[in-house]
Amino acid sequence: MEIKQAEQNQNRIFLEETFYVLSKKNCVFRVRLTKEGLCLIKESENTVKESLIPIRDIIGCRCLRSKKQTNSCACQNLPRSNSLQVVEDTSGDLDDTDVSAYLYIYAYIFPGNKGSARKRERTIITLRFRSFDKYEENHKEAQRWRTVIKKLTKGDEVSITNIHDFSLSHKHKETRKLLVLCNPKSGPGKGKHIFQQKVVPVLQEAEIPYDLHITKHANFAREFVRTSNLFQWTGIVLVGGDGIMFEVINGIFERCDWSEVIRSIPIGIVPGGSGNGLARSIAHYCNEPYIGTPTLPSALAAVRTNHTTMDLVRIETTSQIMFSFLSVGWGLLSDIDIESERLRILGGQRFTVWSLARLIGLRTYNGKLWYIPAGAPVSPPKSNLNNTSMSSNLDLPTEVHLETDAGRPRVDSWYSANSKKSAYFSATGSSYQSTADSGEHRPNADEKPRMFGPASQLPCLTAPLPASWKCISGGFIMVHASYQSHLGEDCLFAPEATLNDGRIWLLIVRGGATRSQLLHFLLGLSTGAHASSQTEGDMIELIPVTAFRIEPDMSEKGYMTVDGEHVEYGPIQAEIFPELGRVMIP
Ligand SMILES: Nc1ncnc2c1ncn2[C@@H]1O[C@H](COP(=O)(O)OP(=O)(O)OP(=O)(O)O)[C@@H](O)[C@H]1O
């Protein structure tokens, strides 16, 4: 009974209107808006074809009006679709002869072209409202649709009873504003370009305002987050690699209000670095396509209202405490990470090149490793996030232009302006902070801000560990821990890991592993094959733990990394805090 009621609610029609495709005679589109999405029912001659654009695939919609033609002639009183240009109705450049109101609906759908890789494509549905003789009336109607669509995309309740008030007086007002921190030096140095080309268009389609700050030096983002009033923003979007994420997380834990910030302001990451482990892990967790369009899942995450918790790991070294979201490394992978810095210009390729170099000059490090094995079985990713049935599988062109009938001569309606080259309208209220680096937040180089955050449950780093901890001592080629599935875009380190499984995935490679075993292991990292090919007593093991400690032999030299950042070489211990962080998800 309850299920039936839920289904009825899902299919309840909020708005419905008939539109015409003017280039095709006898073809009408009945367009319905329900909680599930925008349903386009195409009726032509004896056929009826229905397609649904799910609400979660729609990111925004805008009401626009046709722009005055510069070289219009008297005989052409309606805009031709291939020359249609639209503007905000506040523009001084309006075409007063066209009383239509245009509703542009922006969606990123999975098209139904079978055989090709699953990939989202941008589609614009244009609904032209022109049933009334006055623009104001048509605009009112378009605004009503816009408001309901905006409410549904935000997950707000919509009641059929007051839908008719949803026009000018109830016009949707955006309450969100994002802080964007962009590292222009991340990866191959394309952070700014990625933001302008890939993210800004999506923010503008969703009409989300933002404040952009370009980082000026290492630790700029950390100081900014530590010292700013973050509550003026509803989310923080980072453009860069895992390094800028590390700065921001640790900047938050340098605030005494860290707990409120971490709970109420989700963080998003747009991959611009060379590793991009977190961005890839988020896409993997949400079953979003990444290869080919790596920035799209993050751009969609920035404009949607979805977020989820993420495990964070408290790290203690002899001189500092930090919070980590990705990894701790000792040995081979850290050597590759740090020593390949000199090849930064190669982007992600630097890791492959340096892996080969390190395999030839293989090193073993001596020390002790303690850990607490994780008890419970791995929980599967949250089912609603992996549910692709919510996504569309549509056979639609990249733009669909539909019109209400006005009893006027029909014009072309499959508006085919090149969507990729569309000009974007600026999102109101956005600001851009570029160069001025006052330096006023920069602390004295020696002065370390205090670290807040949840208290550790472990003995301190200098204290002995209880006998319940497992201990391995001897030679190690590497010990690498990750709490995310991916350490980089093409490094599936812990295939079973999810953002919030409460586990640290500890990879132990003992001294004595052969070069061929290591080569096999390194090749397996790109697909995750290394994780399934382990056998009892292997030199290479991947085990889930909740805490660990490494004590390297201090007579040797080496590298240790936290989230890919170089930290001092010496004793280090880590402890998971399940679901402490919050990240934006597509
Ligand atoms: N304007 C800047 N100039 C120089 N360095 C910067 C600047 N802004 C940030 N940084 C530093 O750059 C480092 C690398 O940044 P980021 O992680 O974004 O890119 P990446 O290292 O290429 O990517 P990944 O960490 O995924 O490999 C960070 O540790 C950060 O401190």
Q: Round to whole Å and give the CA distance between 330 and 487.
A: 14
What would the DSSP string read from start to end of 363-395?
--EEEEEEEEE--SPPPPPPHHHH-GGGS--B-
High-pLDDT (> 70) share of the chain, % = 80
User: 240 C-alpha to center of ligand 1: Å?
Assistant: 7
Nearest CA to ligand 1 atom 11: 218
Quote the pLDDT of residue 380. 41
| Structure token pair of residue 397 | 């062109």
- Counting from 1 in the atom list of ligand 1, the atom nearest the Cα of 219 is 31
Beta bridge partners of 545: 373, 504
Quote the pLDDT of residue 2. 59
- Counting from 1 in the atom list of ligand 1, the atom nearest the Cα of 216 is 1
Identity at 255, one-letter amino acid code: R
- Taking residue 276's Cβ as centre, other Cβ atoms within 10 Å add up to 31
Q: Round to whole Å and give the CA distance between 415 and 66.
A: 13
Nearest to residue 327, comparing CAs of 415, 420, 243, 432?
243
pLDDT digits (tens, 9 = 90+) for 423-479: 223 333 455 443 334 444 444 555 677 899 999 999 999 999 999 999 999 999 999
Nearest to residue 271, comparing CAs of 182, 210, 393?
182
Beta bridge partners of 111: 394
pLDDT by residue, tens only, the chain of 586 residues: 555 666 666 678 999 999 987 667 778 899 999 999 999 999 888 889 999 999 999 999 999 998 887 654 444 444 445 567 888 877 778 788 889 999 999 999 998 765 667 899 999 999 999 999 999 999 999 999 999 999 999 988 888 777 776 665 566 778 899 999 999 998 788 999 999 999 999 999 999 999 999 999 999 999 999 999 999 999 999 999 999 999 999 999 999 999 999 999 999 999 998 889 999 999 999 999 999 999 999 999 999 989 999 999 999 999 999 999 999 999 998 998 888 877 777 766 777 788 888 888 899 999 999 999 998 443 443 433 333 333 444 555 566 666 666 543 333 222 222 233 222 233 334 554 433 344 444 445 556 778 999 999 999 999 999 999 999 999 999 999 999 999 999 899 999 999 999 999 999 999 988 888 888 888 888 888 887 766 556 789 999 999 999 999 999 999 999 999 999 999 999 999 999 999 999 9
User: 369 C-alpha to center of ligand 1: Å?
Assistant: 30
What would the DSSP string read from start to end of 139-158?
HHHHHHHHHHHHHHHHT---
Mean model confidence pLDDT for the chain? 84
pLDDT digits (tens, 9 = 90+) for 32-51: 999 999 999 998 888 899 99
Sign of CA dihedral 32, 38, 44, 47: negative
Nearest CA to ligand 1 atom 9: 218
- Counting other chains too, the contacts that 247-252 makes at CB distance below 8 Å and 24 or more residues apart are 247/219, 247/220, 247/221, 247/222, 248/181, 248/221, 248/222, 249/312, 249/323, 249/324, 249/325, 249/581, 250/222, 250/322, 250/323, 250/451, 251/221, 251/222, 251/223, 251/224, 251/225, 251/226, 252/225, 252/226
pLDDT digits (tens, 9 = 90+) for 510-536: 998 888 888 888 888 888 888 776 655
- Counting from 1 in the atom list of ligand 1, the atom nearest the Cα of 238 is 18
- Counting from 1 in the atom list of ligand 1, the atom nearest the Cα of 244 is 18
- Taking residue 368's Cβ as centre, other Cβ atoms within 10 Å add up to 16
pTM of the model: 0.85
User: 185 C-alpha to center of ligand 1: Å?
Assistant: 6
User: 119 C-alpha to center of ligand 1: Å?
Assistant: 29
Quote the pLDDT of residue 479. 97
Quote the pLDDT of residue 282. 98
Site to substitute for ligand 1 among 185, 282, 334, 433, most atoms within 8 A of C-beta: 185
Residues within a 6 A CB radius of ligand 1? 183-187, 215-220, 240-244, 247, 273-276, 564-565
Site to substitute for ligand 1 among 180, 181, 182, 186, most atoms within 8 A of C-beta: 186
Q: Round to whole Å and give the CA distance between 146 and 101.
A: 11
pLDDT digits (tens, 9 = 90+) for 68-115: 876 544 444 444 455 678 888 777 787 888 899 999 999 999 987 656
Q: End-to-end CA distance of the chain, in Å?
A: 32
Quote the pLDDT of residue 566. 93
Residue 150 · residue 207 · CB < 8 Å: no
Strands 235-240 and 267-271: parallel
User: 500 C-alpha to center of ligand 1: Å?
Assistant: 25
Quote the pLDDT of residue 102. 94
Strands 235-240 and 572-584: unpaired
- Counting from 1 in the atom list of ligand 1, the atom nearest the Cα of 277 is 26
Q: Round to whole Å and give the CA distance between 59 and 106.
A: 6
Identity at 44, one-letter amino acid code: S
| Structure token pair of residue 191 | 């952070």
How many helices, marked H, and strands, marked E, lie in the chain? 14, 26
Site to substitute for ligand 1 among 217, 238, 244, 248, most atoms within 8 A of C-beta: 244
Site to substitute for ligand 1 among 183, 237, 295, most atoms within 8 A of C-beta: 183
ipTM: 0.95
